[in-house]
Amino acid sequence: MGITWRNISVAGFIGIILISFSASVSLAREVFVENDETIQGAIDMVEDGDIVTVRDGVYTGWNNTDLDFSGKRITVRSENGPFRCIIDCNNSGCGFHFDSGEKGDSIVQGFTIRYGNAFRGGAIYCKTSSPTIQNCVFSQNNSSNMGGAVYCLFDASPNIFNCLFEDNTAEYGGAIHCDLYAGPEIANCTFSGNRARAEGGALFVSNFANPSISNGILWGNLPEEINGPSPATVTYSDVQGGYPGSGNLDADPLLTAGSMGGYYLSQVSAGQPDDSPCLDAGSDPAGTICMKWSWGDVCLDDLTTRTDHQTDGSAADMGFHYAPPGFATPTPTPFVIPSPTPTATPSIMPTFTITATPTTTPTITPTPTPEFRTVITMPDDFFTPGETCWVKLDFHNHLSTVLWNMPVFVALDIYGQFWFWPEWSPEIVYREESIPEGASGLSIIESFSWPDIKLQSMNGLKFWGCVTDPDFITVWGGEDGLSFWEFGFGPL
């Protein structure tokens, strides 16, 4: 990326704020569910595009089972993954019920669903609906008829990615039953210990259904792995007893226990005596097999099948992948709709990747230096109509030399969405400046009177600023890293 910039206008700055906040239909909010609240209560109060984040804990009883999106295009996710957030159906009802035409933008992410008990679909029931189900664990669910964990019918085609099915039971389809033209896509899932009292320990397929399974492990399910009068499409999967399809195996996957469960893959380099045949046996590179989480893509090379938690690399491993310790759930990227009395967001330092040339993409690491620092300033931290506003980046250069052609970065941060000066661009742009010795400053936005923006009060907006050397190696900000100024605005 070369140097691209144009003159700053107050209208551009205010326009970004108006674009970000006035069209609330395009904004999303995140609602948190605490242990003493119910998941369904949160689902009922949100709208399309919103996120329901469930805190760690075990959720059971009324309004925490038989959860229904009612057709909403929302994400319901755990805060810290399936081993810390559990929906316990207590052998009465299922976890989620989809029958309102939900599509792929209705998302369930990061739960353990256990002890479900229903006529069909012990954990999830999908009828004419195709939600996205990611990073979930289905354990000890039961159906008295079909689909111990998941039941799909009438063209239901959910996307089921990176899930673990263990110890579920049903008459047909101990883990999953696909019926009546259903076509779920099932990728990187592990099935183990599931049992059908009749047929299809892992999967039963009937009435012209056509599910697809890729990069899966189906091992140790009874009375067999896959059965039924209709075929499944299975590729790059390890299926006990074998199954036709490109890249398929019939070899003990050598599942081994680790810190988060018993479904890691044995690997000599992680301390086990043998390598699992499922290593590097998937269809594509790990970095290209991804799921869209609420803040962006998470790919298999972010996750692990190893007991030493080294992430998956090169070709993808088959089966379920664990999140390594310390894998955090970032703040989601959609805008958050501020409440009438908003609370400022925490002061979290962003990290940027700056492209110096088409082949160089160094990552900025703040470098506090007493001899040179930058400070972003505004005349106040809250503005009402008619008040004077401006934005400056002050330089304190005590290095006894002029700093020539230094890239200057300034970003307006609106709840995690960054707009880069001087173009107010969502792409990273910058401006080169030569910085003299001593104290000096750069006007980012010239002085103006704050307009009467017809919006409620907003807080927690930020300007960030820093300077790098021409090679983008060293970064100078404030005393503790990138310099920032937090501000808000509101009516008189």
- Residue listed under structure tokens 């008295």: 144
Strands laid side by side in the 372-377 sheet: 372-377, 388-397, 438-449
Question: Do 93 and 15 share a structural domain?
Answer: no
Domain termination site, one of 253, 281, 302? 302
Q: What residue type is 406 in one-letter code?
A: M
pLDDT for the residue numbered 175: 98
- Residue listed under structure tokens 């209709």: 230
Q: What is the mean pLDDT of each run of 10 residues along the chain (492 residues)?
A: 35 61 52 92 91 95 96 94 96 95 94 97 96 97 96 95 98 96 96 97 95 97 96 97 97 96 96 97 94 76 94 93 75 34 33 36 46 86 90 86 88 85 83 86 85 73 86 72 84 73
Q: What residue type is 303 in one-letter code?
A: L
* Residue 474 belongs to domain spanning: 1-25+341-492
Question: Is 138 inside a domain boundary?
Answer: yes
Domain termination site, one of 285, 302, 319? 302
Task: Specify the number of domains making up the chain.
Answer: 2
**In 10 A of CB 145, how many CB atoms?**
16
Question: Do 388 and 490 share a structural domain?
Answer: yes
> For residue 240, what are its two tokens?
């006990």
Question: Is 309 inside a domain boundary?
Answer: no
Question: Do 254 and 368 share a structural domain?
Answer: no
Question: Do 233 and 368 share a structural domain?
Answer: no
**In 10 A of CB 264, how many CB atoms?**
27
Q: How far apart are CA 327 and CA 293, in angstroms?
A: 13
**In 10 A of CB 319, how many CB atoms?**
29
Question: Do 297 and 391 share a structural domain?
Answer: no
Question: Is 134 inside a domain boundary?
Answer: yes
Question: Do 383 and 279 share a structural domain?
Answer: no
Question: Is 318 inside a domain boundary?
Answer: no
pLDDT for the residue numbered 355: 36
Question: Is 334 inside a domain boundary?
Answer: no
Dihedral sign, CA of 187, 291, 193, 124?
A: negative
pLDDT for the residue numbered 456: 64
pLDDT for the residue numbered 440: 83
Question: Do 94 and 8 share a structural domain?
Answer: no
Question: Do 375 and 287 share a structural domain?
Answer: no
Question: Do 284 and 361 share a structural domain?
Answer: no
Question: Do 420 and 401 share a structural domain?
Answer: yes
pLDDT for the residue numbered 473: 76
Question: Is 320 inside a domain boundary?
Answer: no
Domain termination site, one of 302, 325, 360? 302
CATH number for the domain including 458?
A: 2.60.40.10
Question: Is 316 inside a domain boundary?
Answer: no
Question: Do 157 and 8 share a structural domain?
Answer: no
H, E, C per residue of the chain: CCCCCCCCCHHHHHHHHHHHHHCHHHCCCEEEECCCCCHHHHHHHCCCCCEEEECCEEEECCCCCCECCCCCCCEEEECCCCCCEEEECCCCECCEEECCCCCCCCEEECCEEECCEEEECCCEEEECCCCEEECCEEECCEEEEECCCEEEECCCCCEEECCEEECCEEEECCCEEECCCCCCEEECCEEECCEEEEECCCEEECCCCCCEEECCEECCCECCCEECCCCCEEECCEECCCCCCCCCECCCCCEEEECCEEEEECCHHHCCCCCCCCCCCCCCEHHHCEEEECCEEEEHHHCECCCCCCCCCCECCCCCCECCCCCCCCCCCCCCCCCCCCCCCCCCCCCCECCCECCECCECCECCECCEEEEEECCCCEECCCCEEEEEEEEEECCCCCEEEEEEEEEEEECCEEEEECCCECCCCCEEEEECCEEEEEEEEEEEECCCCCCCCEEEEEEEEEEECCCCCCEECECCECEEEEEEECCC
Question: Is 196 inside a domain boundary?
Answer: yes
Q: Which residues of 466-476 are buried (b: 16+ CB within 10 A; e: fewer)?
A: bbbeeebeebb
Question: Do 78 and 9 share a structural domain?
Answer: no
Q: How far apart are CA 244 and CA 313, in angstroms?
A: 27
